[in-house]
Amino acid sequence: ASSQRLRSHLKLVGRQEELAAARAARLDLLLPEEPGFLEADPGEDTCTVSQGDIAAAVDIASAAKHFELRLEQFGPYRLDYTRPGRHLLLGGRRGHVAALDWQTKTLMCEINVMETVTDVAWLHAETMFAVAQRRWLYVYDNQGVELNCLKRFPGVLRMQFLPYHFLLATASETGFLQYLDVSVGKEVAATCTRGGRLAVMAQNPANAVVHLGHSNGTVTLWSPNVKEPLVRMLCHRGAIRALAVDRSGTYMATAGLDRKLQLFDLRTYRPLHALVLPQGAAHLDFSQRGLLAAACADVVQVRPSPSLPRKPYLCHRLPLPAHGLRFCPYEDVLGAGHGAGFTSLLVPGAGEANFDALENNPYRSRKQRQEWEVKALLEKIPAELITLDPTCLDRVDTASMEQKRQEKIQRLGFDPHAKAKFRPRRKAKGGSSAGSLLRRKRKVAHEEQRVRCGSSPPLTPKNLTPHPKKPHPSALGEPKRVRVVR
Amino acid sequence: MNAAYLQLQYIYQICNDCVILIAVPRNYDPVLHPFEVPREYTRALNATKLERVFAKPFLSSLDGHRDGVNCMAKHPKSLSTVLSGACDGEVKIWNLTKRQCIRTLQAHEGFVRGMCARFCGTSFFTVGDDKTVKQWKMESPEYGEEEEPIHTILGKTVYTGIDHHWKEAVFATCGHQVDIWDEQRTSPMCSLTWGFDSISSVKFNPIETYLLGSCASDRNIVLYDMRQSTPLKKVILKMRTNTLCWNPMEAFIFTAANEDYNLYTFDMRFLASPVMVHMDHVSAVLDVDYSPTGKEFVSASFDKSIRIFPVDKGHSREIYYTKRMQHVITVKWTSDNKYVLCGSDEMNIRLWKANASEKLGVLAPREKAAMNYNQKLKEKFQYHPQIKRIARHRHLPKSIFCQVKEQRIMKEARRRKLQNQHENLQ
């Protein structure tokens, strides 16, 4: 009786969830903004349209978003945008660090840290940022005041901030991947990746897994809870030069020394598209609406993904080779840091047009930011929940259930849920002959198998896989070694 | 259009020509809201922890009786009035909002064995050790008037309990046998008996109002039909039942508070086996009362604690105790489903919240929405081990904790013995 109630309850819950999803989808009609686009006249290509042409064609406010900062003194620049897309952080190789509101061009701070700067990253809000300097990792206030010098993080080459976990993941030149919890200031995990110098790093925004690219052409996926990589993929014949994951966590773009640009499906870890670029891409970034920007020496090319056509959507030549490439969230803007400073490029259709004010609000006031910060800290996800599948908490823990069932059988001495064997009842007048008994038994012969098949999805040509996979007992999933052979 | 104007429309909205609201545009695309399940899980964990932080159920203690509180009665029309009878024959009427006694009267010589209010709320009945049934006015007497019962009935035997019909001018008393009285007569309309021992309590069914149930000292529970003036059915348990209470929402369900530390919920149509056995007390259960929703009930036990049980679960969801509270004799759940009253033999009546972490008073709409959201989150993740561990954690007083452990060991030993016998027989 209780299983009947449970089944009806689950059905009701399922129906409610479907209703809720349908209602939320209908609210798409109320979205105020439309995404941008660029259409070329028939006979022309969009890749021949220059930034000047785009700036001339749009309104003044959008045209002001295309600007160039000539900073030739302090070396090639790395950059980072805050999550709402309002503030920009620039870090020059020779020590110049500047934080500014790039839309109103108000400078928040500008310092020279007197040391080589390898990477810069905003922390959870525009109040703090981290600078990876030659020796150690430093955390600064947005006024340029040094807050922390973290000596446990030597030789950091690349940093990625995991916003929902408040974790700063750092990849060092000695092959260490370290996670720092910026809300309490503790080092959560330090893994020796044994992959050599880690100069290529990206994060999957959908499940907070860190992707590292190695010099033997492999890409490894890491979680702070596991000492081995979760997945190891062979992507290129030479070293990996650049790595990017799109915001829904389905595609990964990699560029290698073999001048190829590959697009992988992250659900199956199989390659989708390959493109040969004459010079090979040194930097990659996905925009919110799926445009992929690739910086090949001093040329920045933007292509729509996942189709990746040969001819790019947009092209731009920077004064010197690029060192940093980032799309600005919620704006149709691509920022490129290069040897001569910083350039902000207009890319129509790159940014998400409609933001959700309760997640990231580009127009938030100080009070709203403070309220958001408190709420975000309260729902900070613990680092133990970082897995390949972010919805694994929703699933039934079949391993523990099995274990508990075995323990119960042991304790009680019998299985309380076992069904008694089917014995056909005696019927009158010829219904109990051997043949009719056999016929009745045959009806329920494969009931168990039928129940199992009924619960799994029907086999269509798409679903047919050669080896049906059994779910691994641990919640984190077995470290998979997938060799991608072409 | 300049940037400042475009920004303004995302910051402010002008409503009703003068009120300026902060604009919060929403986009429900799931790509914009990653980590749905872990974030909800963290929120559920926080909600569960906060529920434990704000669980402060004790409200106040009503002081004034000079002997242990033996019985209580709820006023059917007024939520803020409660009546209590003590072991020295005193009856006090309390105002719960002021937490004061508004009227005291000396009802009987000896214990006040039972009391009940009439369904209209204008009078109440008490029975005592002096073999009398008295009916009193609910209003206080005027200045200069003396406290006099409206009506006194002298009986031949001691009456141990009384209950009034929910709709008609009929009441039932129990003692030697169950008597059904008409209010205007001085002798009972009919006497019902089935068994040889005294009867400790009688209760009318609030929905099928002609049914009554009674608990006798020879370990049985007897159901009577008033229309036929006959006993209907009987169920005999292993130990004596102290009281029973009918479910105010389900016409045929009643819960019996038994001496063997358990409560049994029966369906009166199938008395062969109980619908649910509620096990959590470590000593005899003395009183039980249902919540007006019919989904939960509260039980008072000799082990100095009161427990709140859901009707469909075998274990309690809440336990209330205080160092000062000794054996709890009587318990009532108020008719607005918010409070629980318990009377103990150290002369105090205590007022508790039914939901320990509930915020009392008027809630702002946002507060209500946040509380509903948290409640739903807690329900969604209630089976996850970390959350379950925090939600069901209750600090128990040492006596109850040791008793629980001991009884678990005894039960385990009995079960193992039975299993070994079962195995060796095969």
What whole-number distance in Å separates Cα of residue A145 and Cα of residue A99?
Answer: 12
pLDDT digits (tens, 9 = 90+) for B161-204: 999 999 999 999 999 999 999 999 999 999 998 888 899 999 99
Is some CB atom of chain A closer than 8 A to the CB atom of B39? yes
| pLDDT given at position B426 | 76
Distance CA A336, CA A445 (A): 68
pTM of the prediction?
A: 0.89
Q: Is B423's CB within 8 Å of A413's CB?
A: yes
Residue A34 at interface with chain B, using a CB cutoff of 8 Å: no
Question: Which residue in B has a C-alpha nearest to residue A208's C-alpha?
Answer: B35
DSSP string, A168-211: EEEEETTSEEEEEETTTTEEEEEEE--SS---EEEEETTTTEEE
Distance of alpha carbon A265 from the chain centroid: 12
Chain B residue numbers with beta carbons less than 8 Å from the beta carbon of A393 are: 37-38, 41, 384
B386 in contact with A at a CB cutoff of 8 Å? no
Cα(B416)–Cα(B403) distance, integer angstroms: 20
B41 to A393: CB separation less than 8 angstroms, yes or no: yes
Q: How far is CA B192 from CA B197, B201, B210, in A?
A: 13, 13, 14
Nearest to A358 among B26, B35, B419 (CB): B26
The shortest CB-CB distance from A59 to any of B1, B32, B41 is to: B1
Show Cβ contacts of residue B175 under 8 Å, excluding neighbours closer than 6 positions.
Answer: B155, B157, B158, B159, B160, B161, B198, B199
Judge: B33–A59 Cβ closer than 8 Å, yes or no. no
Return the residue in B9, B22, B28, B415 with the most chain A beta carbons within 10 A, the one to mutate for interface testing.
Answer: B28
Q: Is the CB of A378 inside 8 Å of chain B's CB atoms?
A: yes
Residue A466: per-residue pLDDT:
45
Burial of A479 (0-12, 13-18, 19+ CB in 10 A): middle
Residues B257-300 have pLDDT tens digits of 999 999 999 999 999 999 999 999 999 999 999 999 999 999 99
Query: Which residues on B lie below 8 Å from A378 (Cβ)?
Result: 42-43, 46
What's the pLDDT score for residue A481?
53
Mutate to test the interface with B, among A6, A358, A395 (most CBs of B within 10 A): A358
Mutate which of B37, B382, B416, B423 to test chain A, going by most A C-beta atoms within 10 A?
A: B37
CB contact under 8 A, B22 and A368: yes
What is the DSSP code string of B113-132? EEEEE-TTSSEEEEEETTSE
| A64 touching chain B per CB within 8 A | yes
Residue of chain B with shortest Cα separation from A246:
B31
Low-confidence ranges of chain A (pLDDT < 50): 463-478, 483-486
Share of chain B above pLDDT 70, in %: 96
Tokens of B7: 């920004």
* Rounded Cα distance, A227 and A237, in Å: 26
Q: If DSSP codes are grouped into helix, strand and coil, which group holds residue A139?
A: strand
Neighboring chain A residues of B32 at a CB cutoff of 8 Å: 352, 355-356, 359
d(CA A343, CA A424): 82
- A-facing residues of B in 4-33 (CB < 8 A) are 6-7, 10-11, 22-29, 31-33
Mutate to test the interface with B, among A247, A330, A363 (most CBs of B within 10 A): A363
B-chain CB neighbours of A103 within 8 Å are 3
Distance CA(A333)–CA(A345), nearest Å, equals 6
- Name the residue of chain A whose CA is nearest to B43's CA: A379
User: Other CB atoms closer than 10 Å to residue A401's CB: what's the count?
Assistant: 10
- Reduced to 3 states, what is the DSSP secondary structure of residue B277? strand
- State chain B's mean pLDDT as an integer: 93
**Out of B25, B34, B422, closest to residue A357 by CB:** B25
Tokens of B293: 């929703």
Task: Report the C-alpha gap between A340 and A322 in whole angstroms.
Answer: 9
Distance between CA atoms of B168 and B157, rounded to whole angstroms?
25
Contact residues on chain B for A359, CB-CB shorter than 8 A = 32-33
In this structure, the strands spanning B90-95 and B349-353 are: unpaired
**Does B38 sit within 8 Å of A164, measured CB to CB?**
yes
C-alpha distance from A389 to closest chain B C-alpha (Å): 10
Does residue A368 belong to the interface with chain B, where contact is any CB pair within 8 Å? yes
Residue B7 has a pLDDT of 64
User: Chain B partners of A25 at a C-beta cutoff of 8 Å?
Assistant: 28
Pairs of residues, one from chain A and one from chain B, whose beta carbons lie less than 8 Å apart: 94
The pLDDT assigned to A478 comes to 47
Give the pLDDT score at B385. 93
Gap between the Cα atoms of A49 and A47, Å rounded = 5
pLDDT for res A459: 53
Give the pLDDT score at A485: 41
Quick check: A3 contacting B, CB < 8 Å?
no
Contacts of residue B402, defined as CB under 8 A and 6 or more positions apart, other chains included, come to none
Angle at B66 between CA B63 and CA B71, to 5 degrees: 80
Q: Most A CBs within 10 Å: which of B35, B276, B311, B377, as the mutation test of the A interface? A: B35
